[in-house]
Amino acid sequence: MRIDILSLFPEIIKSSLEHSIIKKALKKDLISIKYHNIREYSKNKQKKVDDYQYGGGSGMVLMIQPIYDCIKILKEDREYSNIIYLTPDGEKLNQSSSNKFSLSKNIILICGHYKGVDHRIREHLVTHEISIGDYVLSGGELAAAIFCDSIIRLIPGVLGNESSALTDSFQDNRLSEPIYTRPENYKGLKVPKILISGNNKDIERWRDKKSLERTKKYRPDLL
């Protein structure tokens, strides 16, 4: 998979995606991420990328030209089935949409900043608008990093143990069961006996029950 990210502050995203699992995926060439500073595509002498809103109103708006040109250049070399604008008023990202996006070959992510982007970008260039939650961030950069992390870990070969993505919370519309590791008894706080019983069938049944209990308690909307 190749991900091209258009942003005024690519460093914010880059620094979030240079560690742990994503770092390994990059090293193994399972993905490549290219960063494009929108400012570098500005045809303005001062490299201006934003302007005031037509009709008045506070906040600067990112202009169409640099983003249009950057996408045009990228599209000359390959096809992009998903051109995604990160925005709080987009469709909310969830595990099911992350699964779908993780199957993409090439993705473009557009990060807005200030008041957002000229609406013509959203109307004519973008295929999806994605939000990471009902709150407003200063820009789309952190949302882009979260989007990338959530889809990259689902790409086959990225996680050491393939099944660990399948047992994540939300993967089957359920929260995951409680997990424990050594020591068995920490200052009197004990690991549930069943997990050290060695009876795999009973353990599976227990995990299923606990997962259902936690979902009912914390996220009944999922059921």
Residues that bind ligand ADE (CB under 6 A): 86-88, 131-133, 135-137, 140, 143
Question: Distance between CA atoms of 33 and 45, rounded to whole angstroms?
Answer: 29
Measured distance CA(62)–CA(49) in Å, rounded: 6
Q: How far is the CB of 1 from ligand ADE (least distance, A)?
A: 20
CB atoms within 10 A of CB 199: 12
Tell the smallest beta-carbon distance from residue 91 to ligand ADE (Å): 10
Task: In angstroms, give the least distance from the CB of 206 to ligand ADE.
Answer: 37
Lookup: tokens for 72:
């045009």
Q: Whose CB is nearest to ligand ADE?
A: 143
Judged by beta carbon, residue 129 or residue 168, the one nearer ligand ADE is 129
Which one, 142 or 165, has the nearer CB to ligand ADE? Answer: 142
Q: Which is nearer to ligand ADE, 66 or 88 (CB)?
A: 88
Structure tokens that stand for 59 in this block: 């906040």
Let me know: does 144 contact 82? Beta carbons within 8 Å. no
Choose between 24 and 128: whose C-beta lies nearer to ligand ADE.
128
Q: Looking at beta carbons only, is 111 or 152 nearer to ligand ADE? A: 111
Structure tokens at 16: 């979030």
Least separation in angstroms between residue 110's CB and ligand ADE is 10
Rounded to the nearest 10°, the torsion over CA 148, 151, 155, 158 is 50
How many Å separate Cα 115 from the centre of its chain? Answer: 21
Smallest distance from ligand ADE to CB 143, Å:
3
What's the one-letter identity of residue 107?
A: I
